[in-house]
């Protein structure tokens, strides 16, 4: 591996340092494990928490869109990517980008992602992995050779739903090993696979050696013709937890990302576009139970001009505002704050949907503690009480009540991403504990609490 000065110079030139050989390293070695970091709080070391992706050695919370199209002109990519940064998005993942087309368009997309301050994930050759007629596994090489040292590239998107398409674990492993060997970077980029639940367990049970480094799950619970909140939205959380449990069961350290529904136009596969309030749950529900990134499955650019314009409008009014919230809270999410214990009077599963009525995540930064809580039920919940205790909050004995801000309570202006907030009170409880009582006013509601230190 090059020295630090050489590494910095290479990164400045927009390329990754090269391996001394092209032999694949031990596939059991994780390339995405996040080490504990010292924080500004003396005496506290951040715990590992759920594994996350890393970029240039730092934890990276992925917020992005799937790009379906293989454009032929840079300005076509730029038209999409230029809007992303203002929406809090940091990544574009290219699906269908190399299904028989040349690699020049992948490079073009990566170039435009870099020009717009975005990271890029490229799908590997789908037909080569499925052994379609006239394609072979060697066809993976062209794309890896073209992109391996691109500054925007942070991962390979190895395959989508192998269980659905009858790609056996052995074949996926074979493709994984070939990409790993062909990627000449000093450290291999992680390889992502989307699982939809079809024979998913088989792919984890087949390891080691590895067949993927980062796992994703796609659940689209909002169906065409359905009323708001009438679909089984809780499944995005239960399937995320199931996948996280699989990772733990097999003793591995793999990040988990959620593929979030943003499809449903013109009857696309029987789905409808989720509303803004549904979309908040679809994004935050999985994060609370362990997902460390959100990638929206978009519906592409094919169709009439009105259809294409609708996609941009939906991003501005619905997914974009949610993405800005995730971006603002990503540092707190990645903090893995473990010094604050939380309990609730609704830590039960009253619906039989295999998830508690209320789930939550605690994060912190230098200024505040954050409680991200979601309602996993198809009904409003009143009088939910949280009991919180821990050093970052200080003791409550003899203390005065403290203000709590509920962030991003309502979207006021989808052009400026202006939100309302409201104030609550953190009350002293027994011992050093504090209590917070609030309502979840809608089914699958999301409440984002900020408690100043």
Tell me the CATH class for 46-334. Answer: alpha beta
| Model confidence band, residue 80 (pLDDT cutoffs 50, 70, 90) | confident
Q: Which residue has the tokens 């959100």?
A: 294
Mean pLDDT of 1-10: 31
**What value does the mean pLDDT of the chain take?**
85
| Model confidence band, residue 32 (pLDDT cutoffs 50, 70, 90) | very low
Express each pLDDT in 289-315 by its tens digit: 999 999 999 765 555 667 667 888 888
How many C-beta atoms surround the C-beta of residue 419 within 10 A?
Answer: 16
Express each pLDDT in 321-372 by its tens digit: 999 999 999 999 999 899 999 999 999 999 999 999 999 999 999 899 999 9
404: left (phi over 0), alpha (psi -120 to 50) or beta: beta
Q: Which residue has the tokens 């240039």?
A: 56
Residues in CB range of 57: below 8 A, 6 or more apart: none
Express each pLDDT in 363-416 by its tens digit: 999 899 999 999 999 999 999 999 999 989 988 888 999 999 999 999 999 888
What confidence score (pLDDT) does residue 255 get? 93
In contact, 295 and 218? CB cutoff 8 Å:
no
Mean pLDDT of 271-287: 95
Predicted TM-score (pTM) of this structure: 0.88
Distance of alpha carbon 276 from alpha carbon 254, whole angstroms: 30
How many C-beta atoms surround the C-beta of residue 36 within 10 A?
Answer: 11
Q: Where are the domains of the chain?
A: 46-334, 341-452
What confidence score (pLDDT) does residue 349 get? 94
Task: Look up the CATH number of domain 341-452.
Answer: 2.60.40.1180
The CA distances from residue 161 to 11, 203, 259, 331, 370, in Å, are 33, 11, 12, 30, 35
> Which of these, 110, 199, 205, lies nearest to 161 by C-alpha position?
199
**How buried is 81 (Cβ within 10 angstroms: 0-12 exposed, 13-18 middle, 19+ buried)?**
buried
- Whole-number percent of the chain with pLDDT over 70: 85
Residues in CB range of 2: below 8 A, 6 or more apart: 10, 17, 186
**How buried is 28 (Cβ within 10 angstroms: 0-12 exposed, 13-18 middle, 19+ buried)?**
exposed
What confidence score (pLDDT) does residue 272 get? 86
| Model confidence band, residue 199 (pLDDT cutoffs 50, 70, 90) | confident
């Amino acid at each position: 591996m090059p020295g630090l000065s050489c590494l910095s110079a290479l990164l400045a030139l927009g390329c990754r340092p090269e391996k001394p050989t092209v032999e694949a390293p031990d596939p059991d070695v994780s390339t995405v494990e996040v080490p504990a970091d010292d924080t500004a709080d003396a005496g506290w070391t951040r715990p590992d928490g759920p594994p996350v992706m890393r970029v240039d050695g730092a934890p990276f919370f992925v917020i992005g869109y799937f790009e379906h199209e293989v454009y032929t002109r840079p300005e076509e990519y730029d038209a999409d990517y230029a809007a992303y940064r203002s929406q809090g998005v940091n990544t574009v993942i290219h699906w269908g980008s190399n299904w028989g087309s040349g690699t020049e368009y992948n490079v073009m997309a990566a170039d435009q992602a870099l020009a717009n301050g975005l990271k890029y994930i490229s799908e590997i050759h789908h037909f080569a992995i499925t052994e379609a007629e006239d394609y072979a596994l060697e066809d993976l090489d062209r794309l890896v050779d073209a992109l391996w040292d691109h500054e925007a590239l942070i991962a390979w998107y190895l395959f989508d739903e192998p269980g659905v398409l009858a790609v056996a674990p052995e074949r996926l492993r074979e493709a994984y090993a070939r990409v790993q060997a062909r990627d000449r970077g000093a450290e291999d980029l992680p390889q992502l696979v989307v699982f939809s639940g079809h024979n998913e367990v088989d792919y984890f049970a087949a390891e080691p050696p590895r067949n993927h480094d980062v796992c994703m799950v796609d659940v689209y619970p909002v169906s065409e013709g359905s009323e708001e909140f009438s679909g089984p939205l809780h499944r995005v959380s239960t399937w995320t937890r199931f996948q996280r449990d699989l990772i733990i069961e097999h003793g591995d350290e793999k990040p988990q990302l959620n593929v979030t529904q943003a499809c449903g136009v013109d009857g696309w596969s029987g789905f409808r576009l989720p509303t803004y309030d549904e979309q908040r749950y679809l994004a935050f529900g999985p994060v609370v139970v362990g997902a460390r990134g959100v990638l929206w499955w978009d519906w592409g650019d094919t169709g009439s001009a009105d259809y294409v314009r609708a996609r941009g409008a939906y991003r501005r009014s619905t997914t974009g505002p949610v993405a800005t919230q995730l971006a603002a809270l990503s540092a707190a999410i990645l903090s893995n704050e473990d010094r604050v214990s939380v309990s609730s009077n609704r830590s039960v599963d009253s619906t039989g949907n295999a998830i508690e009525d209320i789930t939550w995540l605690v994060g912190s930064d230098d200024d505040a503690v954050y409680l991200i809580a979601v309602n996993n039920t198809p009904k409003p919940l009143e009088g939910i009480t949280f009991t919180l205790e821990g050093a970052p909050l200080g003791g409550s004995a003899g203390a005065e009540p403290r203000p709590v801000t509920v962030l991003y309570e309502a979207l006021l202006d989808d052009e400026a991403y202006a939100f309302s907030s409201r104030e609550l009170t953190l009350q002293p409880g027994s011992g050093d504990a504090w209590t917070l009582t609030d309502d979840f006013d809608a089914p699958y509601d999301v409440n984002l609490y900020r408690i100043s230190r």
